[in-house]
Amino acid sequence: MDNLNNTTLNITEIFYSLQGEAKEVGIPTVFVRLTGCPLRCNYCDTAYAFKGNNPLSIQYILDEVAQYNAQYVCVTGGEPMAQSNCLKLLDSLIDSGYNVSMETSGSIDITPVNSRVSIVMDIKTPSSTEEHQNRYENLPILKSKDQLKFVIASRSDFDWCTEILDNHEVESEILFSPVYESLKPVELADWILEKKLNVRLQVQLHKLLWGDQKGR
């Protein structure tokens, strides 16, 4: 307990909503958004998490999460792995009995992540302008419980994604997600069917419900 009280992370927000993405879409989930990210993706929708000074102990975070009586917790950012104590937070959430997922860019080694955490890795497409940050060594680490997400803004992004999948063997589920208000979901759906890809089309449920409202 004392260790959890003394171990802190910089937190942008903790909120309760429906999971808008990944295989848990639609499930009530507590989101723990960590502050800071080494990337600056062109289509980022959480730039407000880049900076801040709100250190919270892991015990405080656990207490906040517990009040929602949720089974699912998503640790997100920013880039959660940019804070070394993220690993301790993930372990603590798992030990508390939650179904835990972590959203990451995959630009940092994911090897140390607790094997019971579901990793949602958002590989960076060319339109993000951060393609050079991709750590492709993470791809074979992903397991069937994990998910590899491609955020796609154009046909050239789509073609790049298919090339990546042709050149890398991936065990996890594959998600193709259109950039909100940049690419129509129906266009991406047609491309997936045209290429006969074994991927899941993902639209952001929370944005369909609440738009870009913060904390949703």
What's the confidence (pLDDT) of residue 86? 98
Residue 170 covered by a domain: yes
Residue 214's SS3 state is: coil
Give the global pTM.
Answer: 0.93
Q: For residue 42, is it within any domain?
A: yes
- The per-residue b/e assignment along 134-147, b for 16 or more CB within 10 angstroms, e otherwise, is beeebbebbeeebb
Contact at 8 Å (CB) between 104 and 121? yes
3-state secondary structure 51-63: CCCCEEEHHHHHH
Determine the Cα–Cα distance for residues 168 and 171; give it in Å rounded to an integer.
Answer: 10
- pLDDT (0 to 100) of residue 2: 62
Domain-located, residue 149: yes
Count: domains in the chain: 1
The pair phi, psi for residue 80, each rounded to 5°, is -55, -40
Domain of 103: which CATH number? 3.20.20.70
* 198 domain residue, yes or no: yes
C-alpha span between 11 and 51 (Å, rounded): 10
Asked whether residue 144 is domain-assigned, the answer is yes
Cα-Cα-Cα-Cα dihedral sign, residues 79, 14, 8, 21: negative
- Look up the domain containing 21 and give its range: 2-210
Q: What is the pLDDT of residue 180?
A: 87
CA-to-CA dists, residue 160 to 93, 124, 130, 142, angstroms: 36, 10, 14, 20
216 located within any domain: no
Return averaged pLDDT per consecutive 10 residues of the chain, 216 residues in all: 87 96 93 96 91 96 97 97 97 98 96 98 96 96 97 97 96 95 94 97 84 74
CA–CA gap between residue 130 and residue 52 (Å, rounded): 22
